Structure 1
Amino acid sequence: MSGFWSWFIITLVVLNIAGCAWLLWWTAKRRPGDPAPEQTSHYWDGDITEYNKPLPKWWINLFWLTIIFAIGYLAWYPGLGNFAGYGGWTSAGQHDADVAAAEARMAPVFARFQGRSIDDLANEPDAVALGRSVFGNFCATCHGSDARGARGFPNLADGSWNWGGTPDQILTSILDGREGVMAPMGAVLGSEQAITEAVVYTQSLSGRRVDPQLAAAGRSRFMVCAACHGVDGTGNPALGAPDLTDGVWTYGGDFDSIRHSIVHGRHGQMPAHGPIIGETRARLVGAYLWSLGQDTPARE
């Protein structure tokens, strides 16, 4: 926070406290020259008039105690601009302390899974169940509670892996994250006809029924894509280039979706979760995903 805004907040807080104290002092008792109750001409319910019901002393003292408490609170805890308070408390420090305490409580639960391979953990029901729980907390926002993803977020339960589906590759994806970039190829292909042919040929790679003449013409167009996806379209896990023959489409396999991918490109990023959940939890999540992908055919 800049010095200006720090002093602005300090001034605002001090003025508010001082204003409350002044208002309490000013209204706590009658002043010389105040009219008598019967002289105000303000009556309610017949016999209730102004100035005849002053606040009890204990009530006024409670207001003063509230002001004193507020001053003490602002001295001990942060609340006056950049002043950190004499107590040294911060929300970040409290968060870190709570996390450390929770980690200490959970350490025995995760200890027996530490360092074990994903495929080994996948054979243990307790590990898979724990991995599903961790997945639900940290991964379901993007990939869905059932790990089947959504448009733009890969299905992790179908056995199709853009970056490779070995235990080590899955663990690397979770720990370090991935960034997939599909370059826009509209300008490279040049014409709308060429783009259409490339789209139709791409659809044909997964066995779809398409116009055979457009698909045949698109084969040569596809050569600009072969550097990443391979001549046969089966992809390249080292680059995260998807297999275009398995019928699995992260952004949709209809004509318009594929056309958009080719013309405008795509950019997807999987954030690194190693710093967030640690290696043992990452292994458990990997075991859960590995168990989902076994003997599961790729879906159209």
Structure 2
Amino acid sequence: MSSAWSWYVIVLVVLNLAGCVWLLRWTGKRRPGDPKPEDTSHWWDGDITEYNKPMPRWWLGLFYITVVFAVGYLIYYPGMGAWAGTSAWTSAREHDADKAEADQRIAAAFAPYADKPVEELARDPVALRHGQAIFANHCAACHGADARGARGFPDLSDDIWHWGGQPQDVLTSVMDGRQAAMPPLAGALGSAAKIDQTIAYVRSLSGLPVDSQQAAAGAAHFAGLCTACHGPEGKGNALMGAPDLTDKYWLYGSDPDSIRETLVLGRNGNMPAHAALLGPARARVVAAWVYSRSHGEAKPQ
């Protein structure tokens, strides 16, 4: 906070406190010329009148005590601009202390799982229950509460894994994240006709209905541009995250328009790394739950 803003806040605080004290003093006593307490000329229903009596002293005393408390509070805690207070308290320091305490409790709770293999944890119902809760907090926003994914977010409950479905592969995805990139190929293909032919061939790889002549022409384009990642047979490459194009699963859709969008604009899939957020033990537990979804291991109780 700049010194100008600091002084601005200080002046406002002082004026508010001084104004409260002045208001209490001004309203707490009678002045010459004031009507009698029982004589205000404000009558209702013939026998109800508004009195003009000062506030009781005990009530005024409570207000003064409140002002004194406010002054003490502003001396001890920050509140007067850049003044840190005699306690040097900060919300950031309190947050860090609370977080450190919570981290210690979490570390103790998950310590038994820190060194166990993912496949072993996938057979532990208690570990799976913890993993499911972690997944709900950190992963469900993209993959859904049931891990079935959505358009652009992989289904984790089937047996199709773009980056490999072995326990260590799943753990690596959770810990280090994944970055997939499908480059735009419109310029390389050169024409709308060649794009349509490539779309037809790609759809034919998974048995979708296509024009056979277009698919045959698209095979040459695929061989020249796509086999480096997807392989000569279109079966993909888990080391690069390149999906198998011969199965029935399509991350962004199998209709011609969706595939055209992929070819023309490319795709960029980003799975963020969770190692720093979860730590190795919790990452291992959630990886076990994800692994269990497609490998039929124990279910959480």
| Cα distance in 1 between the residues matched to 2:164 and 2:81 | 51
The Cα shift of 1:283 comes to 0.7
Residue 19 of structure 1 aligns with which residue? Answer: 19
SS in 2 for 1:112: helix
Aligned residue type for 1:252: G
Summarize deviations over 1:6-49 as a string: whole Å, max 9, x none: 44444433333333333333333233454556886555565433
| Cα distance in 1 between the residues matched to 2:269 and 2:78 | 40
| Cα distance in 1 between the residues matched to 2:232 and 2:19 | 78
Residue 254 of structure 1 aligns with which residue? Answer: 255
CA 11–143 in structure 1, closer or farther in 2 if over 3 Å, else same: farther
- Kept in 1: contact 2:27–2:54 (CA 8 A): no
Aligned residue type for 2:256: F
Residue 61 of structure 2 aligns with which residue? Answer: 61
CA 226–3 in structure 1, closer or farther in 2 if over 3 Å, else same: farther
Q: How does 1:145-224 map to 2 (within 5 A)?
A: 145-222=145-222, 223-224=224-225
Residue 113 of structure 2 aligns with which residue? Answer: 113
| Cα distance in 1 between the residues matched to 2:246 and 2:2 | 56
Tell which deviates more after alignment, 76-85 or 230-239.
76-85
CA 78–268 in structure 1, closer or farther in 2 if over 3 Å, else same: farther
What is the Cα-based RMSD across aligned positions, in Å? 2.6
SS in 1 for 2:113: coil
Summarize deviations over 1:41-64 as a string: whole Å, max 9, x none: 5555654336x1322222222222
| Cα distance in 1 between the residues matched to 2:284 and 2:95 | 25
Aligned residue pairs, count: 295
Residue 78 of structure 1 aligns with which residue? Answer: 78
CA 45–28 in structure 1, closer or farther in 2 if over 3 Å, else same: farther
Residue 290 of structure 2 aligns with which residue? Answer: 289
Residue 239 of structure 1 aligns with which residue? Answer: 240
Summarize deviations over 1:237-262 as a string: whole Å, max 9, x none: 22222222222222222222222122
Structure 1: gaps of 5 or more residues: none
The Cα shift of 1:4 comes to 4.3
| Cα distance in 2 between the residues matched to 1:246 and 1:68 | 75
| Cα distance in 2 between the residues matched to 1:187 and 1:84 | 60
Residue 229 of structure 2 aligns with which residue? Answer: 228
Summarize deviations over 1:264-296 as a string: whole Å, max 9, x none: 122222111111111011111111111112269
| Cα distance in 2 between the residues matched to 1:290 and 1:113 | 15
CA 9–161 in structure 1, closer or farther in 2 if over 3 Å, else same: farther
- Kept in 1: contact 2:43–2:50 (CA 8 A): yes
CA 27–285 in structure 1, closer or farther in 2 if over 3 Å, else same: same
The Cα shift of 1:167 comes to 1.5
Summarize deviations over 1:99-137 as a string: whole Å, max 9, x none: 333343344432221211111211222222221122112
Residue 95 of structure 1 aligns with which residue? Answer: 95
CA 253–20 in structure 1, closer or farther in 2 if over 3 Å, else same: farther
Residue 136 of structure 1 aligns with which residue? Answer: 136
Tell which deviates more after alignment, 274-283 or 93-102.
93-102
- Kept in 1: contact 2:181–2:267 (CA 8 A): yes
SS in 2 for 1:180: strand
Tell me the TM-score normalized by structure 1.
0.86
- Kept in 1: contact 2:236–2:243 (CA 8 A): yes
Tell me the TM-score normalized by structure 2.
0.86
Structure 2: gaps of 5 or more residues: none
| Cα distance in 2 between the residues matched to 1:41 and 1:78 | 49
The Cα shift of 1:200 comes to 2.2
